[in-house]
Structure 1
């Protein structure tokens, strides 16, 4: 997750939440259409950490934008939760930025699009040829239907990077235990058993936030195919919440806890807890996203580490990265489109790729960092096999909270697998029924 920072350029900070707004920003929003300065200023929000791959790339894109256009960028760094929790309120006002980073998926960008809060940028996509730079599976999360379901006809955002869930492993811990990288699921289980036999809990996990839900979904994907993903994510056909993929995932996750593959305290652990524990070498394996890669590269110094795709599964969690979206109330949409176009240039994409990110439009020859090449190669292998299968919490606006709560109950033994599946299925079906009228 991105760090909450307070960097700004050129203008005063707007405090999200509607309580305090800097006086200069208020004056810029008032009156008939704003001042001449407003028309030459791009208001930009994003929540990438200053030292992250994307943060570095966007900083350079801002410099290029200002040099080429003569316009100024009013950049306001936001926290992920700041934007997520207040987006509908802020975008439905004259405080909306011209461009902002927003999470992709039905429950986020799709929801805002269906509420009329985001600009349909299809014409800008066609004019600038952005679709030609994005693989089809990456385009799915940028296009939405009138109901806010991804994969629709209209473009409401543009991704600049990709992301996926992989298996991080401690090479030293594997070597000390005499273990090789597993290539099948049975071998993966044998690795887990071998660590437990040595008194080592093998999997860094977190039940209070997203990691445990992502492991649950990866287990389901190992028994699923593309049509199952389309049914679950795009509502193509009804989902049976007692089918093989879901039942296998829920039962197996419970078995992981019972077998000691996961800490008995997992229900109270957050993603940061799991990530820092892996950095410290306390767990030899961490199933999580590519967004950790750059940080691990910088912070892991006591041992060598690597990645491998989840064994025995042709499908992987992942998608495009978050989207550049243009609010419907944006005052300078043409400037926003210019900025988006700059972020897709090979030289900006190369910054992402050489700093631990996954670019979507980079020239392969521009990626010079060997560790970064490992990550990008793994991502491209998933793209080539049409393996990106999105994330488990996307189907409903509140499914993330429900999934976290239900899997916490599973981990601490307060709910059976059957009860968990019923709880998840009830919310899912209620939302899908509302979409279908």
Structure 2
């Protein structure tokens, strides 16, 4: 499974569905005894939502039933139930393109009025995270999980042996590429066999060169945004990096999904790795001594003369709860208040997540890795914008061929100019 996104499993989706908590069909608005139905992504972190359901049921007249769906089948199952007339009252999602079709069909409850009526909910979350839960400036998602910004991880031992410091500027990046090539070390690990890893470079370069609004225009449905000069410049930089050996010679056959790219960093074969914050957990599981002693991390640097804010972040702001428009909306809104309660936030921290609530910082000392948790939290808290990963922000009909075009760009199968023309033609 791709760490930052559930994949689709087509016909297997229904077979992978698993019900937990109070049971029932994931799509039923009424599970038989008036329970509000919550459709949830099934993974180890869902225990936080399970505990929230238990507290909600103990303290409210309304009751909730949470039904979990296996990761590989989640998006297909959601599409099935949303189109069947048996939609859940509330469901887990990634925001952006994952819910845009339901917004267009007016199936979701706009939450602007809910935030106005409950100002403590509005104030409970980091503004850039709440903003990322909007579609066309209308709020449809309330944060339910931790944040996953993307950043540069580096091997401190490799840096020490080369006598260099972690990068603070784009010039530093260029100099480090040359230094590590001379040392016989691949400057950047890259899992090019899983092209969403390639995408991270395009996301940050465009954000730093042209600013947040460049991709936001595209995400809002205006394909003319692909013709912005920042897109072409980013594509040119990427191919220059490839030709200069920034990613080594075998990146196209290295996988990010199976941990191979991360292993290059841990083994000292690569010096740096642009990846989501889940890289820390990956290294802690696969190379615990490296993670504890030699794994460093820094934000992606500013670009010379770039128009983008150097503190802007790309990645996965969080996951969201959205409410269907014809379900038990009152109970669902009441349940949303769980997501910023002290008990909920404490559960998140203890399970290794970095919460997106404004008051979470004081709890981070209890995190499994307090220093990294505080770094992430400060990075997200101070970000003026948090751009959702492009493959999640766009509808699938655009996202999938876009990722293919980015893979072709990295593999030098198209020129930067051809790349721009190809993605601009996507509908």
Give TM-score, length-normalised by structure 1.
0.79
1:255 aligns with 2:212: no
Identify the match of residue 272 of structure 2 among 285, 290, 314. Answer: 285
| Structure 2 match to 1:359 | 355
Q: Give 1:305 deviation, angstroms.
A: 0.8
**How far apart are residue 420 of structure 1 and its match?**
1.2
Which position in structure 2 is the counterpart of 1:384? 382
Is residue 398 of structure 1 aligned with residue 382 of structure 2?
no
Alpha-carbon shift at residue 101 of structure 1 (Å): 0.8
- Name the residue aligned to 2:73: 82
Equivalent residue runs for 1:83-122 within 5 Å? 83-105=74-96, 107-122=97-112
Do residues 131 (structure 1) and 127 (structure 2) align? Answer: no
How far 1:317 sits from its partner (Å)?
A: 1.0
Does 270-279 or 178-187 show the bigger shift?
A: 270-279
TM-aligned CA deviation for residue 72 of structure 1: 5.8
Alignment pair present for 1:169 and 2:159 = no
Report which stretch shifted further, 60-69 or 400-409: 60-69
Structure 2 regions of 5+ residues with no counterpart? 7-11, 304-309
Partner residue of 1:156? 140
Q: Quick one: structure 1 residues 260 and 177, their matched pair in 2 at CA, closer, same or farther if it must change by over 3 Å?
A: same
Q: Does structure 2 retain, via aligned residues, the 8 Å contact 1:3–1:48?
A: no
SS in 1 for 2:110: coil
1:342 to 338, 344, 354: 338
RMSD of aligned residue pairs (Cα, Å): 3.3
1:214 corresponding residue in structure 2: 200
For the 8 Å contact 2:151–2:275, the answer to whether it is kept is yes
- In structure 1, the partner of 2:184 is 199
The structure-2 alpha-carbon separation of the partners of 1:25 and 1:319, relative to structure 1 and needing over 3 Å to count, comes to: closer
- Tell me the TM-score normalized by structure 2: 0.81
Distance 1:395 1:374 in 2: 30
The verdict on how the C-alpha distance between 1:378 and 1:20 changes in structure 2, with shifts beyond 3 A counting, is: closer
Pair 1:99–1:242, CA change in 2 (3 A): closer
The CA distance in 2 between the partners of 1:288 and 1:42, in whole Å, is 37
Corresponding residue number in structure 1 for 2:251: 266
For structure 1, which runs of at least 5 residues remain unmatched after alignment? 5-14, 432-437
**Paired residue for 2:9?**
none
Q: Deviations over 1:128-167 (max 9, x none)?
A: 33212123322222233xxxx3x23xx3220133331111
Hey, what's the Cα distance between the residues in 2 that align with 1:288 and 1:115? 34
Paired residues, number: 399
What is the deviation of 1:104?
1.0
Contact in 2 for aligned 1:103/1:323 (Cα 8 Å): yes
Matched residue, 2:307 = none
CA distance 1:19–1:170, change in 2 (3 Å): closer
Alignment CA distance shift 1:395-1:285 (3 Å) = same
